[in-house]
Chains A and B, each alone.
Chain A
Amino acid sequence: MLAWAVSVQAHEGDGMVGGFGAGFLHPLLGLDHVVAMVAVGLWGAFLGMPALWLLPVVFPMVMAVGGALGVAGVPLPHVETGIALSAIALGGVVAFAVRPPIWVAAVLVGVFAIFHGHAHGTELPSAANPIAYSLGFVIATGLLHLSGIAFGFLTHWRQGMVVVRGLGAVIAAIGFGFLFHLL
């Protein structure tokens, strides 16, 4: 991240680096995106292998499909509601320590990824450099997942488990805040 930031500062806000910077910042500037992405990583770490790698792999790939729908102008109803629900659901499963079969976890994460991808995709056509923009927002999304995974490793300790589940509850609460337009 630091290395890319140096490149961003070396250029003005257009071209590849400018597009990358704009795309990179996009997921980071929306709290609803941020908490849902962190929750994906938290849940992956909480569930352990193979969810640890499967969920952060499924999310960007399905998000890309949602993004393609957004780019193509295919309407998806209630995108913002879907994003808020993703925070509620993903935060909730962490808070309540839900351990479904791995395919259920992958499907749940994949469904919500479509909403997040659609939101990004609708903004993509106006980007100065679409490839760099998409690379930026995909990497930022992935780094948020990795942040969640890093926090999720706290579950190796008993007190850490409490902290992680508490974080899940906070994420779900933020989701409710967005759902009812309190945030």
Chain B
Amino acid sequence: MKTLLKSALVAAAMLASAGAWAHGAAPGLGNFVGGFIHPLAEPAQVVALVALALLVGQQTFRRAEPAVWSLGLATAIGVAAAALSARWAGWGGTDALLLVFAGLTGVLVAVARPLPVPVYVGLAFMIGIGSGLESSPEGLRGGARIGFMAGALVGTLAWLGDAGLLVQACHRAWGKVVVRVVGSWMTACSVIVLALQLKR
């Protein structure tokens, strides 16, 4: 019960802080912090990162590690692509990419079966690419732009790590049930929004 309480408090702090930062309520902290909280402000990225965190959290630390490296590498590639190419920075398929892989990840979370390492490393890579591409700031140039993107890279890994640790804390049987149920929520959300994007 104490573990649950701690997890709930950390989750509440994360969610509450997301709302406050989105207002720019921490003036003077600069572009790095803006980039750091950016993954929490983009709905598709939130859904994908939560789904991936659930999947990573279901694994042991040793099995989860390659997925975290994969996410970091891919996010860096995505950020670099968005920084170097206006075409990639403005690519309209980023949300769809994130939602497709969020949906797949949510299914795997709900099924909760042991997976070969390449499967969730691959999912982490694709979600990382999407997160990186989504982290291109509008209206920033030079050092400010680099600072924002560096913050987004660190933030993506930090939020995944936080959420993954929360999930790993759910040792009890009903905690594992909640993880699977939340995974299905991520899939459901992704499917519906993808349908909407296809219609448009």
Show the binding face of A for B, using Cβ within 8 Å: 2-4, 6-8, 10-11, 16-17, 19, 52-53, 56-58, 60-61, 63-65, 67-68, 71-73, 117, 120-121, 124-125, 129-132, 134-135, 138-139, 142, 145-146
Contact = CB atoms under 8 A, between A and B. Distances in A.
Interface in B141-200: 177-178, 180-185, 187-196, 198-199
A124 B198 CA distance: 13
Contact of A60 (B18, B23, B95, B184): B184
A11 B196 contact: no
A56 B194 CA distance: 22
B19 A10 contact: yes
B195 A2 contact: no
25 contacts: A3-B11, A6-B19, A7-B15, A10-B22, A16-B22, A16-B43, A17-B22, A57-B110, A58-B184, A60-B188, A61-B107, A64-B187, A64-B190, A68-B191, A71-B192, A71-B196, A71-B199, A72-B198, A125-B199, A131-B43, A131-B44, A131-B47, A131-B95, A142-B182, A142-B185
B100 to A, nearest CB: 13
A68 B193 CA distance: 8
Contacts of A142: 181-182, 184-185
A17 B187 contact: no
B189 A135 contact: yes
B20 interface: yes
Interface of B: 11-13, 15-16, 18-20, 22-23, 41, 43-44, 46-47, 95, 99, 107, 110, 177-178, 180-185, 187-196, 198-199
A146 B181 contact: yes
B41 A16 contact: yes
Given A10-B19, A11-B19, A17-B19, A138 B188 contact: yes
Given A10-B20, A11-B23, A64-B189, A145 B196 contact: no
A129 B41 CA distance: 12
B188 A63 contact: yes
For the complex of A and B, 10 pairs with smallest distance between CB atoms: A7-B19, A68-B195, A131-B43, A64-B188, A64-B191, A3-B15, A60-B188, A3-B12, A67-B192, A57-B184
Residue from B12, B99, B107 whose CB has the most chain A CB atoms within 10 Å: B12
A65 B187 CA distance: 10
A121 B192 contact: yes
A111 to B, nearest CB: 16
A125 to B, nearest CB: 6
A158 B53 CA distance: 39
Residue from A3, A61, A121, A131 whose CB has the most chain B CB atoms within 10 Å: A131
A138 B189 contact: yes
B181 A145 contact: yes
A11 to B, nearest CB: 7
Contacts of B195: 67-68, 71-72, 121
B188 A61 contact: yes
Contacts of A52: 177
B43 A135 contact: yes
Residue from B18, B189, B199 whose CB has the most chain A CB atoms within 10 Å: B189
Contacts of B187: 60-61, 64
Contacts of A121: 192, 195
Given A60-B185, A129-B43, A7 B18 contact: yes
A6 B16 contact: yes
A124 B196 contact: yes
A10 B21 CA distance: 10
B191 A65 contact: yes
